[in-house]
Amino acid sequence: IGGPSMLRSAAKNHESVTVVTDPSCYDDILAEMRGNGGATTLETRRALALEVFRTTGAYDTAIATWLASKLNGADKFPEKTSIQLVKQQDLRYGENPHQEAAFYRRSTASEHSLVNAEQLNGKPLSYNNLLDTDACWAIVREFDAPGVVILKHQNPCGSAEGSTIAEAFDRAFACDKKSAFGGIIAANRTVTAEMVRHIDDNELFVEVLVAPDFEPDAIELLRQKPNLRVLATGGVDKPDTEPEYRTVDGGMLVQDVDVVAEDPAAFTVPTERKPSEAEMDDLLFAWKVVKGVKSNAILVAKNHAGIGMGPGQPNRVDSCELACKRAGEACKGAVAASDAFFPFRDNIDVLASYGITAIIQPGGSIRDEECIEACNEFGIAMVFTGHRHFRH
């Protein structure tokens, strides 16, 4: 009979059996027995039995997960499933002060995932810090060149690539200096002392700074800010291949993680004018970033920088207006990305009025022809990707 069977059997008889799975409990149990005539209390035995079933349940889940990973054609969404989670830390509170919360580690977390990041400086992470840091890190790790994303309330207010990580920060910060205050910064390369000095020169208050690692001189500068949370992931993993879980009332939604995996060679250009090489380069950058903007999402980009963002509007026209107004005069000659198709040509009309010259979007609307005609009227090049990237 194996260990788990013995533990379960003992736990089932907890009314008369004390079963211990963790040596760290020995001292407390011995102290209770000394003060209780050599016996443990029923309350203690129940608590210990609960720990047994939690331990053996996690053991069974780990085996089932491993076996599923070894089977070809294993059902991605089986009829029954379990998730093994281990508490990483208690949080001060949840999304709001009246909500209790904790942070859990998934047993299958990849090596350089956020949950495995080492905190090098700063106050304990909050629930909202973790949510926003995750959203920020998910965008920047898809960049190929040195890149920085600045995010507030789940939306990337600044995003850019550069020849160095310091230049990438400068360009991301320039996208929206006002919104960057109090945000999260994620970098996909080693953070240098130069980048930290640029943050300081702009007197930018930052909640969290996450990156693969940091130069020693950069850490020395960052530790002068005792409240700034600094996280080192140790590397940049590819986007998670594990399912994504979200709770709804009484249930759980499970889906693949959304990544920009489509091949640009499969994109189509239905307009008379085709994008230039520079425009296409910016469109591909914008396509990666708009995935991280709350739907309905529009991102205006120029020279590999997200200079205007229109997030979370109930209609796409308002998102277009918002993105272009944020970009200001720089909107002229820029490109735009839309996370979903345009239902009417009015979106094109708005973008054209601000000087947008090229657009990337999924296509697939019953009014695609109407939108194509509008682009042709304005001399705008439009790319259809055939893939949607909603984010709710």
Which sequence positions are flagged as catalytic?
Answer: 12, 153
Output phi, psi for 255, to 5 deg. -150, 165
Within 8 A by CB and 6+ apart from 300, the residues are: 286, 306, 307, 308, 309, 323, 324, 326, 327, 331, 334, 335, 336, 356
Q: Strand 229-232 vs strand 206-211: parallel, antiparallel, or unpaired?
A: parallel
Extract the tokens encoding 213.
Answer: 């690692």
User: Could you give the CA distance from residue 132 to residue 120 in angstroms, rounded to a whole number?
Assistant: 18
User: Could you give the CA distance from residue 293 to residue 390 in angstroms, rounded to a whole number?
Assistant: 8
Within 8 A by CB and 6+ apart from 268, the residues are: 363, 383, 384, 386
163, with CB counted inside 10 A (0-12, 13-18, 19+), is exposed
Extract the tokens encoding 288.
Answer: 């990666």
**Residue 106 DSSP SS3:** strand
Q: Which amino acid is at 117?
A: A
Q: Is the dihedral of CA 304, 308, 312, 315 positive or negative?
A: negative
User: Could you give the CA distance from residue 295 to residue 313 in angstroms, rounded to a whole number?
Assistant: 7
Q: Tell me the C-alpha to C-alpha distance, in Å, between residue 102 and each of 55, 92, 95, 225.
A: 19, 8, 11, 25
User: Could you give the CA distance from residue 209 to residue 220 in angstroms, rounded to a whole number?
Assistant: 14
User: Could you give the CA distance from residue 228 to residue 137 in angstroms, rounded to a whole number?
Assistant: 17
User: Could you give the CA distance from residue 93 to residue 315 in angstroms, rounded to a whole number?
Assistant: 33
Neighbours of 97 (CB within 10 A): 8
Within 8 A by CB and 6+ apart from 25, the residues are: 48
Q: Which amino acid is at 334?
A: A
User: Could you give the CA distance from residue 54 to residue 61 in angstroms, rounded to a whole number?
Assistant: 10
